[in-house]
Chain A
Amino acid sequence: MSITEKTSVSFTLNGTHHTITVNPLRRFSDILREDLGLTGTKVGCDAGDCGACTIQVDGKQRYACLTAAAQLKGCNVRTVEGLSSNGNLSTLQLAFLDEGAAQCGICTPGMLMAAQSLLDQTPNPSEPQVLDALGGVLCRCTGYTKIVQAVLKAGQSSFSQTITEIENPSSEINRQKSVGTRMLKVDGYKKITGEEIFGADNAPENSLWLRAVRSPHARATFTHADPETVLKKFPGLVRVLTADDVPGNNGFGIYPHIKDQPVLAKNHVRFRGEAVLALVGDRESVESVTEDDLGLKWEVLEAVRGWKGALSGKLEPVQSEVPDNVLARGFLKKNDVEMAFSESDIVVEGKWTTSAVEHGYIEPEAGYARKVGQRLEIFVCTQTPYMDRDEVAQVMGLEPKQIRIIPSAVGGGFGGKLDLSLQPLVAIAAWILERPVRCIYTRPESLASTTKRHPVSMSAKAGCNRDGKLTAFEYHGDFNTGAYASWGPTVADRVPIHCSGPYLVPSVLAKTRALLTNESPSGAFRGFGVPQGSIASEALMDDLAEKTEIDPLEFRIRNALRKGDRTATSQLLENSVGQVECLEALQSHWQIWRKEAGVFNQNSTHKKRGVGCGSVWYGCGNTSLSNPSTMQVGINADGKITLYNGAMDIGQGANTIMIQICADALGLPATQFEYVMGDTDLTADAGKTSASRQAFVSGKAAQLAGENLRAKIILLAEAAENATLCLEQTDSSSGGKLIVADKTGSQEIILADILPLANGDVLTGEGTFDPPTTPLDENGQGSPYATYGFGAHIAEVEVDTLLGTTKVLRLAAAHDVGKAINPTQLEGQIQGGIAQGLGMALMEEYIQGVSENLHDYLMPTVGDMPEIKVILIEDQEPLGPFGAKGIGEHALIPTAPAILGAIKQATGVSINHLPVTPDRLYTALREAENK
């Protein structure tokens, strides 16, 4: 009965009997993914905290990462691969597809298995049952709304009748216009079947593993043993990489002139989590080598912490090149604020601080590199393949064209996958060793080593007239940018432009600083500092409304930017300024909710409800910088039409909308399109998936590419401008045909008759768009963005004033998106943004060394979400594709201000530090009572 090391375990997996010989405590997630090659089951934490690995064991949902092999003896196991049968999707999968419940898709297999376990027992579940069943799976993209809807829908008998339509969307095929429709995600099928390949799901068979050894100290000098002696002790280790192994520049960073973060630190570390060595070898060996084995000796130095520490000047600066720790400053001055304040009837001010916030994508960083001739191929989850290519090239001392980035499907990014993570490490190892090398970050490693949302310490002041017209706004913000630049300077620049909110303010003064500390580098995170700044401006709007006795929503409407107004940078807004419409669209909810909350409060002693609001405006694209996108489309001899899309889809849905846009511009059905995503060898540069720019900038490029191809076809067929196109696709040797018809008749283009390009395409189109901006002058005046998105949220909360707990009950969000290319995807973005905003407001706080796992770093679960109403406003942007502009970051910005406003309305207490955890709110409430 004794079993040493390995045991044989038999179980049924997706209907097939398996007997395997394994270590009895091997995690079943590893068995599935590595031993059996079933990568549909995902691993987000390996610790029972995220639910990505949820499977069914004897019909019950379980975490595969907490299930030991021996526990499965004789069990019946089902994974996402077993949900569909003979290629037929299950009802639940179809409901997910139909609702748009999968965005990035990394949580989807776990969600599906959790939901299936419920449906197997309770075919027609109630909403609370659904919430309870899904409570153990985290999703960072969707805000859960569409997932819950999908599960409820799958439980309804009426849904099965509509299934044939989803499976065979014939109505879609014939539909000529795709923009504005709820077209199903083009990559949706892969995401609901587990077929999607994420960073950790693929690597060449003979890959070596790489693990970075990281600093446990915030600031220290260190020495280590000679790698050769370590290699001798561990036969499974192939190489120990040190800073001296970096062939090119041992420094990276997103700005051309700041490459301050070493790939591997040399002698000196500046934050806890910084990479110092990289172990390469077989998996067991790289995982088992300890610090002692490496002879790592640390000399711990006192760390610069927080805003005060950065500015105190007591310690050596974090980086010797920046003696005062002020990495960057932002400045904006419009008219004379001092005078404007002195002439204002009412002036209010305040101070706020916020915490570091983690992106919390469910997919930890993963990928591999391999050397192919004199080139490197890197397969990795990234938001920015082209920037990765250039960065890796300079770290390797190679030409950019020697690097190929092949993006995996990305399991969420939110700004966190804009910076390099494992790319340079695997690149160096694969280059030196001439073997493929893979790396998967552990969850604690991902948390400790990647960027965060900037903690900020800010003060602001606002003034208005007695009739509630804003006169002046002043803002000071110190952003803790951590040990390295990352996107710190961008944050310092973006915040002054946006800090006075979507309001007409005649005089504005804003000053920001990005401060270096020995803390996690702060980088890009949905909104680049604007979400933090909005907390100040929106709180002040509430204060002014109170002082002028004007309803807060009405106050915002009075002051909202309108067409013809000039912004804080004195940019004239000529088009697409839907702020007033957004606020007005919320008015009826606002009035009803406020009234209902008042009635509730009259009858409740310690539970109090309140309704608050917040506004957003946010420039789409890079600030005053050229940020062009190029898109290409091609048709080959078979009539296969491909969009070469360099605009990374990280779950937000670029894959789908780029096709919708290009298809309509070209005049062919979107359903005929195929696509290539973000491969630097196959697609043109469409810039970064950041700054809410892809729908606007790359979308426009996709439109231009479609129009370009159309123009060529029309010319070829000598047809009229408004001719209709019809593409006959075929696999046979006779080839595909394009039929071009106009009033005078129809023309057939035999595609095989045209000489093909190297990639096989016979007809191609290309479009490039670079949004027009102007540089900002020394006072930060100019036109930094070609267009802005606008919006507002209202939130109702219930506070238990004796416990300090806050529950967000409902939330309504109105956003001016220019044109809704795909309403389902927009709703998904907004619902997901709300979830992140809610987390930032109420629970998310990253503390190094403490919340380095998803057990202690709390992000909202399905049970924390309010009922959400989304309202889309379309004030078309003439520059955008079919009038569209961005939504990605806008969706999150107004949520926290609305929640804070609601808490204040409920309790009378303003909270000036985020997140508003129960103990903070409790303390503030008691202090208010004692005053």
Chain B
Amino acid sequence: MKPFEHFAPDSVGEVLDLLQSIPKAKLIAGGTDLLLQMKQGSAQPDTVISLKNVEELRGFATRKARFRLGAGMTLRGITRSPELKKHFPGLVYAASVVASEQIRSLATVGGNICNASPSADLIPPLLALDAVAHIVSRDGQRDIPLADFFKGPGKTILKSGEILLSLFLPQPSGNMFYSKHAPRQFMDLAVVGVAVRLQKNQGMVREARVALGAVGPTPLRAKKTEALLTGKTLTPKLMLEAGEMAADECSPIDDIRGSAWYRKRMIKIHVRRNLEALL
């Protein structure tokens, strides 16, 4: 590791000031991704700004019919929050299947998102929940749907000087299920991750969200599949078709955890299974 400067400010304001004066500074939250990247040399920042002490990044609260999830909330914190469990059990489940308790007690939801790994477990559920990224900088703030946040593996729309402060989650309509396909029980990355949310009215799908992980350069929403489902009644045939369409919509790669061919098939089955579970 080469030498670097380290700051540990207490407020968002100070973070933003620092970012303005040192645009190349790297933020560190839990550090579970960043520390490894620094060790392997893929990240070599001159300046590191720790978010650990920043109060405004924490917490989960209701605000004007929507929820605010602080970017600095740890995954462990998410799994232990009764409020989150009540409103977003699928998200809590997704946090609980990340790595291990040791990782979850450091890793933050903001880090999980900003690291922009295609296989990040929290992203598909948040996409399915229509999460909005609340981004701030010294120049102002902007709210961007999470679906528009990712540009590629490790790449986001965050500009220099900006940080992800929190996520806004609308009052959830309908249930959301996340399934993580990983051969090993603990400490394994998703081969595919599938989040599905359905809002139904008398059996008819009024709104559908299908979000997929580990099957493209970024986690993605399967919009054609969502359209296929909307306005229809779930039948075995429709669920099968939805699975197939989602498989068509993604573009996985071959790697040690599974071939592209296999991943597509897993998408098909998990989409269908999540739909069945939401029946």
Give the B-binding residues of A (Cβ under 8 A).
1-5, 7, 23-25, 27, 46-49, 51, 54, 57, 60-63, 66-68, 70-71, 73, 114, 117, 131-133, 135-138, 802-805, 842-843, 847, 850-851, 855-856, 858, 860-864, 917-919, 922-923
Task: Tell me if B103 is interfacial: C-beta within 8 Å of chain A.
Answer: yes
* CA of A135 to CA of B8, assembled, Å: 32
Contact A1 B258 (CB under 8 A): no
Contact B31 A71 (CB under 8 A): yes
Contact A63 B266 (CB under 8 A): no
* CA of A135 to CA of B98, assembled, Å: 11
Q: A3-B7, A62-B105 are in contact. Are A918 and B183 (CB under 8 A)?
A: yes
A selection of 14 A-B contacts at a CB cut-off of 8 Å is: A46-B39, A48-B102, A61-B102, A66-B102, A71-B50, A114-B102, A135-B187, A136-B101, A803-B181, A842-B183, A843-B184, A858-B188, A863-B185, A919-B262
Q: Beta-carbon contacts of B235-253 to A below 8 Å, as 1s and 0s?
A: 0000000000000000000
Task: Tell me if B65 is interfacial: C-beta within 8 Å of chain A.
Answer: no
Expressed in whole angstroms, the minimum distance between the Cβ of B270 and any Cβ of chain A is: 8
Task: Tell me if B52 is interfacial: C-beta within 8 Å of chain A.
Answer: yes
Apart from A60-B101, A66-B36, A861-B184, 12 more pairs, CB < 8 Å: A3-B8, A48-B103, A61-B101, A68-B28, A68-B31, A73-B8, A132-B186, A136-B187, A803-B266, A858-B188, A863-B184, A922-B265
* CA of A7 to CA of B52, assembled, Å: 15
* CA of A802 to CA of B272, assembled, Å: 11
Contact B184 A24 (CB under 8 A): no
Query: With a CB–CB cut-off of 8 A, which chain A residues contact B105?
Result: 57, 60-62
* CA of A28 to CA of B88, assembled, Å: 34
Task: Tell me if B99 is interfacial: C-beta within 8 Å of chain A.
Answer: yes
Contact B31 A136 (CB under 8 A): no
* CA of A651 to CA of B3, assembled, Å: 41
Query: With a CB–CB cut-off of 8 A, which chain A residues contact B187?
Result: 49, 135-136, 138, 861
Q: Beta-carbon contacts of B130-166 to A below 8 Å, as 1s and 0s?
A: 0000000000000000000000000000000000000
Best-surrounded residue of A57, A66, A70, A132 (most CB of chain B within 10 A): A66
Expressed in whole angstroms, the minimum distance between the Cβ of A285 and any Cβ of chain B is: 14
Query: With a CB–CB cut-off of 8 A, which chain A residues contact B259?
Result: 919
Expressed in whole angstroms, the minimum distance between the Cβ of B38 and any Cβ of chain A is: 7
Contact B262 A923 (CB under 8 A): yes
Q: A3-B7, A47-B36, A71-B31 are in contact. Are A864 and B256 (CB under 8 A)?
A: no
Expressed in whole angstroms, the minimum distance between the Cβ of A247 and any Cβ of chain B is: 35
The list of the 9 closest CB pairs from A to B, nearest first, reads A136-B100, A863-B185, A135-B186, A919-B262, A24-B6, A861-B186, A60-B105, A136-B102, A63-B102
Interface residues on B, range: 35 or more
Contact A66 B184 (CB under 8 A): no
Q: A805-B183, A858-B184, A861-B187 are in contact. Are A135 and B100 (CB under 8 A)?
A: yes
Q: Kindly report which residue of chain A lies nearest to residue B258, judged by CB atoms.
A: A919
Q: A61-B101, A70-B50, A922-B262 are in contact. Are A25 and B269 (CB under 8 A)?
A: no
Contact B52 A71 (CB under 8 A): yes
Contact A66 B7 (CB under 8 A): no
Contact B256 A856 (CB under 8 A): yes
Contact A60 B100 (CB under 8 A): no
Task: Tell me if B9 is interfacial: C-beta within 8 Å of chain A.
Answer: yes
Expressed in whole angstroms, the minimum distance between the Cβ of A20 and any Cβ of chain B is: 15
Query: With a CB–CB cut-off of 8 A, which chain B residues contact A917?
Result: 183, 258
Contact B262 A864 (CB under 8 A): no
Q: Kindly report which residue of chain A lies nearest to residue B259, judged by CB atoms.
A: A919
Task: Tell me if B200 is interfacial: C-beta within 8 Å of chain A.
Answer: no
* CA of A649 to CA of B144, assembled, Å: 60
Q: Kindly report which residue of chain B lies nearest to residue A919, judged by CB atoms.
A: B262
Best-surrounded residue of A54, A137, A803, A842 (most CB of chain B within 10 A): A803
* CA of A136 to CA of B105, assembled, Å: 12
Q: A2-B7, A5-B3, A60-B76 are in contact. Are A864 and B102 (CB under 8 A)?
A: no
* CA of A216 to CA of B278, assembled, Å: 50
Contact B269 A803 (CB under 8 A): yes
Expressed in whole angstroms, the minimum distance between the Cβ of B272 and any Cβ of chain A is: 9
Q: A25-B38, A67-B106 are in contact. Are A864 and B185 (CB under 8 A)?
A: yes
Contact A51 B262 (CB under 8 A): no
Contact B1 A25 (CB under 8 A): yes
Query: With a CB–CB cut-off of 8 A, which chain A residues contact B31?
Result: 25, 66-68, 71
Contact A68 B35 (CB under 8 A): yes
Q: A71-B31, A864-B185 are in contact. Are A3 and B102 (CB under 8 A)?
A: no
Contact B35 A132 (CB under 8 A): no
Interface residues of B in 1-55 (CB under 8 A from A): 1, 3-9, 14, 28, 31-32, 35-36, 38-39, 48, 50, 52
